[in-house]
């Protein structure tokens, strides 16, 4: 029989637990330095097109298409190493793992993130996030459309959702109503965009960053 918990904490990854904007900047700089503006630019053109088609950032799939389009140049294999060996643990926000540890003292804590089934889990693992939540990691293309699956896997009376995107928090509030408390960390480009803020309801709780959850009574 599945246990129904009093509360389950759901925590996003990109720009919530780690600085994904900085990661993207580092990838851009690395590709530019290694391959030059024209070749690197063709990679980003492929990635942007695939983002429109797939609706998630397909970093690894874009490398495959890029490599084939560039005549299968073995020199481009370095791009895969840049992505797969990236030190995501260095991009964790201050107090990120401590915040997860604190949440776990209050109830089951689950990482819920958007992305693909290969690169996103590797990112979560390399950052040390997966270990901190004992492997309780869910990856979706659009998590706001999969909240029923989240509840099926982690049934609870109430949820606390921590995410840098107001549209995700608003979708959760529409789905769970008063059963969810939404928390917005003001980290990353989306959380601090005034146009986005004007287009969506405010979160139940706004914090400066994920580290502010440490020691907070929840």
Q: Which of 88, 104, 130 is the last residue of a domain?
A: 88
Q: Which of 62, 88, 114 is the last residue of a domain?
A: 88
Q: Are residues 158 and 207 in the same domain?
A: yes
Number of domains into which the chain is organized: 2
Q: Are residues 115 and 11 in the same domain?
A: yes
pLDDT in tens, 180-211: 999 999 998 888 889 999 999 999 999 999 99
Task: Report pLDDT for 1.
Answer: 53
Domain range enclosing 12: 5-19+92-213
Per the DSSP assignment, residues forming a β-bridge with 65 are none
- Residue 120 in contact with residue 31, Cβ under 8 Å? no
Q: Are residues 108 and 28 in the same domain?
A: no
Low-confidence ranges of the chain (pLDDT < 70): 1, 218
Residue 121 domain-assigned?
A: yes
Q: Are residues 185 and 82 in the same domain?
A: no
DSSP 169-206: HHHHHHHHGGGEEEEEE--STTTT-HHHHHHSPPPSEE
Euclidean distance between CA atoms 207 and 218, whole angstroms: 13
The whole model's pTM is what?
A: 0.94
Q: Are residues 100 and 208 in the same domain?
A: yes
Euclidean distance between CA atoms 111 and 101, whole angstroms: 12
Task: Report pLDDT for 188.
Answer: 87
Q: Which of 69, 88, 107 is the last residue of a domain?
A: 88
Q: Are residues 161 and 182 in the same domain?
A: yes
Task: Report pLDDT for 215.
Answer: 78
Q: Are residues 25 and 9 in the same domain?
A: no
Task: Report pLDDT for 217.
Answer: 76
N-term to C-term CA, the chain? 27
Q: Are residues 186 and 78 in the same domain?
A: no
Instruction: Single out the residue of 183, 175, 122 nearest to residue 152, CA to CA.
Output: 175
Measured in degrees and rounded to the nearest 5, phi and psi for residue 9 equal -100, 130
Sign of CA dihedral 14, 19, 21, 24: negative
CATH number of 84's domain = 1.10.286
């Amino acid at each position: 029989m599945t246990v129904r918990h009093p509360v389950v904490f759901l925590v996003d990854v990109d720009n919530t637990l780690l600085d994904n904007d900085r990661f993207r900047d580092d990838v851009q700089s690395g590709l530019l330095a290694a391959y030059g503006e024209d070749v690197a630019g063709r990679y980003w053109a492929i990635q942007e097109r695939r983002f429109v088609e797939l609706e998630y950032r397909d970093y690894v799939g874009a490398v495959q298409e890029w490599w084939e389009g560039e005549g299968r140049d073995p020199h481009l294999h370095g791009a895969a190493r840049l992505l797969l060996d990236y030190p995501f643990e260095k991009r964790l926000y201050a107090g990120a793992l401590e915040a997860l540890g604190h949440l776990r003292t209050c109830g089951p804590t689950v990482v819920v993130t958007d992305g693909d089934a290969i690169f996103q889990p590797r990112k979560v693992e390399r950052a040390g996030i997966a270990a901190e939540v004992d492997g309780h990691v869910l990856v979706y293309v659009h998590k706001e459309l999969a909240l029923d699956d989240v509840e099926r896997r982690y049934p609870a009376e109430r949820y606390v959702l921590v995410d840098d995107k107001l549209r995700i928090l608003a979708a959760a509030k529409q789905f769970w109503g008063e059963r969810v408390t939404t928390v917005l960390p003001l980290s990353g480009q989306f959380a601090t965009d005034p146009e986005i803020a004007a287009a969506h309801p405010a979160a139940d709780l706004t914090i400066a960053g994920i580290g502010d959850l440490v020691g907070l009574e929840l």
